[in-house]
Structure 1
Amino acid sequence: MREEVDTQAAELASIKIVSRQSSVRSIKPQKMSILDNVVFCTILCLIGGVATASQGAVNSKLGEYTGQGLSSTIVFCMGAIASCIYFLIEVRGRPPTNLLIMMAKAPWWSWSGGVIGAIFVIITILVIPQLGAGTTTAIIVCAQLVFSCIVDNFTFFGIPYRKYTVWRLLATVGLIACVAVIAKF
């Protein structure tokens, strides 16, 4: 009896519990993921930063040739294709059977990401020709960081609590100063 309990405890310990709000699978056995590696995640963030900085300039240039509205549409169509490919890779070509049920459980505001992304793309298409890629990106990144700290502090969108400390406040002031310098010079 004791051996059976120990075996069950060992099996449970090897199962990684994934939040139901963040995954279509509630519990799945999983080995160590590459995403558990902080260095790898940092490299992904650096790539994401370069991609974000590039995206505005690239989208703005496309807007010069196609018009701003069509440029935004093209960008999102290409993004939708890339996202569908990633989804099919993630689920190995077999979407989970409970996908529609899990989608129905998502909070109403979680569906607004595409609209928020469209706002971002349209703003960069409109503003980069006026302010330049550096100033536009600096303002956007500063706003992202400040609002992200506010999201952490007030746990908006179900994000775990992380206090807006004096150090974060000082960093915020530093960010704003950096944006001012980038915009001025």
Structure 2
Amino acid sequence: MNGRTIYLLAALAGGGILPVQVALNTLLRRYVGEPMQVTFVSYFAGTLASLVICFLARYPLPASTSLSQTSWWMWIGGCLGTLYVWSTIFAVPKIGSALALGLTIAGQMIAALFLDHYGAIGLTKYAASPTRIAGVVFVVLGVSLVGYAKR
């Protein structure tokens, strides 16, 4: 296995976990109530899991000097994650998990193409080549097929 393969597999596994997360959060909504309440419960459980993993791995707390060197906007990643989790809990009961996640993936691909192309937010630049643009177009077309398929 080459050095890149582990990263490809990690990303694939992360993507494979998302539909399970969405399904579990959608099920939890039946018992908890509003999508934002479920989002809170989900993030609280994730926070606890992260805390336990950091403790077991003996990761030290970040130094306050390191944290003070960050910009305010670097901290909104969790807020954006909250919006993602909420959006799937909100949408899945009405449009299904395949279409909701397909649209999520299409949105991710479109945004990622721009972020990569411009090297935004400190990312390494990867040009939006015709091949990469075509790949995103195929993703959008695939999502369109999922959305327009008869039930």
TM-score by length of 2: 0.90
Contact 1:142 1:176 in 2 (8 A): yes
Higher relative contact order (CA 8 A, sep 6+): 2
Q: Over the residues paired in the alignment, what is the CA RMSD in angstroms?
A: 1.8
- Aligned residue pairs total 148
Q: Tell me what 1:37 maps to.
A: 3
CA offset digits 1:104-158 (Å, max 9, x no partner): 1112211001100110111111000001000000000111011111001111110
- Measured after TM superposition, the shift of residue 86 of structure 1 is 2.9
Q: Tell me what 1:119 maps to.
A: 83
Pairing partner for 2:30 from 52, 64, 79: 64
Residues 53-132 of structure 1 correspond to what in structure 2 (within 5 A)? 53-68=19-34, 69-90=36-57, 92-95=58-61, 99-132=63-96
- For residues 42 and 89 of structure 2, the distance between their equivalents in structure 1, rounded to whole angstroms, comes to 11
- For residues 156 and 177 of structure 1, the distance between their equivalents in structure 2, rounded to whole angstroms, comes to 26
Pairing partner for 1:167 from 131, 138, 141: 131
Higher radius of gyration, 1 or 2: 1
- Measured after TM superposition, the shift of residue 89 of structure 1 is 4.2
- Measured after TM superposition, the shift of residue 88 of structure 1 is 2.8
Specify the code of the residue in structure 2 equivalent to 1:77. F
- For residues 93 and 151 of structure 1, the distance between their equivalents in structure 2, rounded to whole angstroms, comes to 30
Q: Tell me what 1:144 maps to.
A: 108
CA offset digits 1:11-35 (Å, max 9, x no partner): xxxxxxxxxxxxxxxxxxxxxxxxx
- Measured after TM superposition, the shift of residue 82 of structure 1 is 1.3
- For residues 59 and 129 of structure 2, the distance between their equivalents in structure 1, rounded to whole angstroms, comes to 44
Aligned structure 1 segments of 4 or more residues deviating by more than 6 angstroms? none
- For residues 47 and 172 of structure 1, the distance between their equivalents in structure 2, rounded to whole angstroms, comes to 20
Q: Which runs of 5+ in 2 are unaligned?
A: none
- Measured after TM superposition, the shift of residue 61 of structure 1 is 1.1
- Measured after TM superposition, the shift of residue 60 of structure 1 is 1.1
In terms of fraction of residues, the more helix-rich structure is 2
Q: Tell me what 1:158 maps to.
A: 122
- For residues 177 and 158 of structure 1, the distance between their equivalents in structure 2, rounded to whole angstroms, comes to 30
